[in-house]
Amino acid sequence: MENIVQNNLSANKKKIVQHFNKIAAHRDTWLQRSRYYYRDIQQFMAFNIPTDSSVLEIGCGTGQLLHDLKPRKGAGIDISPEMIKIAKAKFPDLEFNVMDGENLCLEGSFDYVILTDTLCYLEDIQQLFKQIKKVITPNSRVIITYHNFLWQPLLKMAEFIGLKMPQERLNWLDRGDFENLLSLEGYDIIKSGKRFLFPKYLPVLSHVVNRYIAFLPFFNRLCLTGYLIARLLPHDGNLLKKSSVSIIIPARNEQGNIENAVKRIPNMGSHTEIIFIEGHSQDDTLKEIKRVADCFTTGYDITYDTQKGFGKGDAVRKGFDMARGDILMILDADLTVPPEDLPKFYNAIATGRGEFINGSRLVYPLENDSMRTLNILGNKFFSLMFTWLLGQRLKDTLCGTKVISRKNYEKIKANRLYFGEFDPFGDFDLIFGAAKLNLKIIELPIRYGAREYGDTNISRFRHGWLLLKMVAFAMNKIKFV
């Protein structure tokens, strides 16, 4: 295989191979010399790739990064035989092959495919993106890092004076070029951005600059490392057509809305399950839930329970744990989001257009008295903050209607220790979890109506202060990493 690869290379690629074969023995020395930079790359990859994932690294060098990610199944390919020889000796538990990324020949699929400053050595990047489709599914993620074009003169100077490993680049493209090529091959960009402004370590200064200042407007444009996280768009428009649905309805002091909720919820997928979670109501909400469940038996699947803890987040988690459906939906019992709109959420996730569907109340005009002015301003503020924090656009973080597959919710649940039990509402537990897993977040506009029964359970100022604290918490857990 190695001889076949080498014989089929162009003159430019043979030059690249000769270059890397020559420096292979010194590769780890260069990594150690620039360990502050490489540690940032490793931390970025580790944040986005859960331990025990299956990972393919294209342009793996001597295999150090792949090893550090602790994959369940790890494979690395590189065009340099000398690099692969060293990688195999260092990490015999991983699979390494001499291979040209523009002509992939691997069996099976991977959860993650990573490329760290690799695209600059390729002759045909679009061909690479085409080849990667052989080893991924729509649930896989492709993570790319590259150097900001603005740094080209400084990096060249660093190579000249011996501060940086010498490179033989075939191209120098930037984010717009990569995004265009990914789009041409049927990929969907989930997240993109820049990080790492100060590449040399100086106590305190480097930490402050790279962890905080680097993510501020203007300064972020100057960062050294650019990144893209993409997924393959699903070809089948009805991936979850026959999936079952569980609708979780947290209900506290909502006695007058219970029967209407059941009557107005349409059937979706292969089966629709309705789960009420009663939250220590002061009215007869629980009694009404029991009555409705007893009355609506033909054609309905209704279950219920009373939460042991407090808060909507606790109710949602209990409902999700009880659910048997493939798709999990949250519907607020106040019915300000029309139950008749739920099929739109179902279709968005069933076609694969999104993996976490979030309702947005701030697109269509609001009904009179459906949302106070201060609430609207608060929602808009948190929308701007979370769009910046998560790297994906969110117009309405506080809409109660959210939809996710059971499979992805189980991943969020397994990863919950990273954030902890910090969210009494449940909205941000799901949003943060989806963002960390790099799920495709889609906002679906809905018409938000006024309450017909009862009063809101939200305290604008007390809960608003809590949300501000959660924003600060998320900065350190999501943005400043």
Quick one: pLDDT at residue 68? 96
**Can you say whether the dihedral through the CA atoms of 415, 417, 418, 419 is positive or negative?**
positive
Q: Is residue 329 part of a domain?
A: yes
104-128 residue pLDDT tens: 999 999 999 999 999 888 889 999 9
Per-residue pLDDT tens digits for 194-227:
999 999 899 999 999 999 999 998 999 999 999 9
User: CA 380, CA 378: separation in Å to the nearest integer?
Assistant: 5
Q: What is the pLDDT of residue 53?
A: 95
User: How many Cβ atoms sit within 10 Å of the Cβ of residue 104?
Assistant: 20
Higher-scoring residue by pLDDT: 238, 415: 415
Q: What is the mean pLDDT of the chain?
A: 88
**CATH code at position 382:** 3.90.550.10
Indicate if 441 and 401 belong to the same structural domain: yes
Can you give the C-alpha Rg of the chain in angstroms?
25
Judgement on whether residues 186 and 278 belong to the same structural domain of the protein:
no
Task: Indicate if the pLDDT at residue 145 is higher than 80.
Answer: yes
How many residues appear in the chain? 481
Any domain includes 379: yes
Q: Which of 375, 440, 380, 370 is nearest to 404 (CA)?
A: 440
Q: Please give the pLDDT value at position 6.
A: 62
Residue 398's pLDDT is 78
Q: Please check whether residues 154 and 104 belong to one and the same domain.
A: yes
Q: In the chain, what percentage of residues exceed pLDDT 70?
A: 90
- Comparing CA positions, the residue from 110, 11, 26, 8 lying closest to residue 62 is 26
In a domain, 377, yes or no: yes
Give residue 465's pLDDT: 74
Of 201, 232, 263, the domain-final residue: 232
Pairing of strands 112-116, 225-232: unpaired
Q: Do residues 264 and 224 both lie within one domain? A: no
What average pLDDT does this structure show over 170-193? 89
Stretch among 260-269, 274-283, 315-324, 376-385 having the lowest mean pLDDT: 376-385
Does 238 map to a domain? no
Region 158-172: what's the mean pLDDT?
78
Angle between helix 427-436 and 312-322 (nearest 10)? 60
Residue 53 and residue 211: Cα distance in Å, rounded?
A: 26
- What is the pLDDT confidence band of residue 242, given thresholds at 50, 70 and 90? confident
Least confident of 27-41, 328-342, 448-462: 448-462
Residue 396: both structure tokens together: 């309405």
Which neighbouring-strand residues pair with 78? 98
- Same domain (yes/no): 195, 278: no
Q: Answer yes or no: are the C-beta atoms of 154 and 126 closer than 8 Å.
A: no
Banded pLDDT at 241 (limits 50, 70, 90): low
Q: What is the per-residue pLDDT for 37?
A: 93
Examine the domain organization and report whether 140 and 272 are in the same domain.
Answer: no
Q: For 391-396, what is the mean pLDDT?
A: 79
Residues 455 and 431 in one domain: yes
pLDDT in tens, 15-41: 889 999 999 999 999 889 899 999 999
Range of the domain at 354: 245-475
Among 14-28, 66-80, 387-401, whose mean pLDDT is lowest? 387-401
pLDDT for the residue 9: 79
Q: Would residue 240 count as lying in a domain?
A: no
pTM to 2 decimals? 0.86
Among 232, 266, 282, where does a domain finish? 232
Task: Name the region of 299 (left: φ>0; alpha: ψ -120 to 50; beta: rest).
Answer: left
Do 125 and 25 lie in one domain? The reply is yes
Name which residue leads in pLDDT, 6 or 424: 424
To the nearest 10 degrees (0 to 180), the angle between helices 427-436 and 373-390 is 20
Q: What is the CATH number of the domain that holds 212?
A: 3.40.50.150
Q: Are residues 192 and 92 in the same domain?
A: yes
Question: Is residue 451 very low, low, confident or very high in pLDDT (cuts 50, 70, 90)?
Answer: low
CA dist 481 and 475 (Å) reads: 9
Of 301-310, 394-403, 428-437, 463-472, give the range with the top mean pLDDT: 301-310
Does the pLDDT of residue 458 top 70, yes or no?
no
Average pLDDT rounded to a whole number, residues 62-79: 96
Do 211 and 253 lie in one domain? The reply is no
Q: Of 232, 258, 282, which closes a domain?
A: 232
* Angle of helix 427-436 versus helix 460-474 axis, rounded to 10: 20
Confidence tier at 155 by pLDDT (50, 70, 90): confident
Q: Is residue 237 part of a domain?
A: no
Residue 478's pLDDT is what?
80
- For residue 480, which amino acid is it? F
H/E/C letters for each residue in the chain?
A: CHHHHHHCCCHHHHHHHHHHHHHHHHHHHHHHHCHHHHHHHHHHHHHHCCCCCEEEEECCCCCHHHHHCCCCEEEEEECCHHHHHHHHHHCCCCEEEECCHHHCCCCCCCCEEEEECCHHHCCCHHHHHHHHHHHCCCCCEEEEEEECHHHHHHHHHHHHCCCCCCCCCCCCCCHHHHHHHHHHCCEEEEEEEEECCCCCCCCCHHHHHHHCHHHCCCHHHHCCEEEEEEEECCCCCCCCCCCCEEEEEEECCCHHHHHHHHHHCCCCCCCEEEEEEECCCCCCHHHHHHHHHHHCCCCCCEEEEECCCCCHHHHHHHHHHHCCCCEEEECCCCCCCCHHHHHHHHHHHHCCCCCEEEEECCCCCCCCCCCCHHHHHHHHHHHHHHHHHHCCCCCCCCCCCEEEEHHHHHHHHHCHHHCCCCCCCCHHHHHHHHHHCCCCEEEEECCCCCCCCCCCCCCHHHHHHHHHHHHHHHHHHHHCC
Please tell me the predicted confidence (pLDDT) of residue 453. 62
User: Is residue 309 in a domain?
Assistant: yes
Regarding whether 399 and 272 lie in a shared domain, the answer is: yes
Specify whether the backbone of 365 is left (phi greater than 0), alpha (psi in -120 to 50) or beta. beta
Q: Do residues 261 and 223 share a domain?
A: no
Domains in the chain, number: 2
Give residue-wise pLDDT tens across range 394-440: 878 778 899 999 999 999 998 888 887 777 777 888 998 999 999 99
Q: Is the pLDDT of residue 374 over 70?
A: no
pLDDT for 364? 65
197 closest CA partner among 212, 175, 177:
212
Quick check: is 160 in a domain? yes
Residue 298 binned pLDDT confidence (cut-offs 50, 70, 90): confident
